[in-house]
Amino acid sequence: MTMKIAFQGEPGAFSHAAARGVFPDASFVPKVTFEEAMAAVQSGEADRAVLPVENSLYGRITDIHHLLPESGLFIIGETYLRIEMNLLGVPGATIADLTAVQSQPPALGQCRKFIAQHNLRTINGADTAGSAREVAAKGDKTVAAIGSRLAGEIYGLDLLQANIEDEGHNTTRFLVMSRDKQEAPAGSGKVKTTFVFRVRNVPAALYKAMGGFATNGINMTKLESYMVGGAFTATQFYADIEGHPSDVGVQHAFEELSFFTDQFRILGVYPASEPK
């Protein structure tokens, strides 16, 4: 039975490309929002969701950090996608034909040098894949889209020039979400554990809570804070560590953490992936 994978965006979005990289033989369920992509997994419409959590240029994807802990879903994997901006034109168009380029503002911002070099007018689109679809539908050789190669394939656009981005280190990390808890077995290689916690409202609580990870040699690769419930004193933390909950050092660190927190929950234990 073919798996169904939800992602946020239109067909051809970078999230679609990331999902296809993890599940090449699946069918895909595009959703407008992160909430809808998660809801598709919750309801059984989709088997998994592949969602962006952070980008090397722009930092965290804020909505995801708020939504993940309350979604009831589990993180079962991660993947990294190198974000390559491609110039996509209608069939037969050339760069010399162009007077304008359309994409979402962050994508346009990442290609400023190319756009200035060719004296192109910019058109703000809702997203990269939607811009590719609109350019294809209009059939105007003077307007190109900036997006993924996949978007060009889906909407029948020609690849006029690849990798037109200013910086070559734009990478997005994606999480694979499931309804069912599927923890990577201990001793199965490099593992990450993601968890959320809320410190007690006492002096130096966070400092003391973090001490156990340092003294037990646990590498914390991510620590993000955000307020919950509209209360300035109710700060929740989202963290990634390298290690498995069954590792002795992780067990000791979690024990020490428990003394200074009033909420703690593991969101996933999954094989670590390497940035591309």
Active-site residue (options: 7, 34, 79, 172)? 172
Burial of 255 (0-12, 13-18, 19+ CB in 10 A): exposed
Tokens of 52: 């962006």
- CA nearest to 191, candidates 101, 269, 115: 269
Annotation marks residue 172 as catalytic:
yes
Active-site residue (options: 14, 74, 114, 174)? 174
CA torsion, points 3, 8, 12, 17, in degrees to nearest 10? -60
The Cα 170–Cα 172 span in angstroms is 7
Catalytic residue list: 172, 174
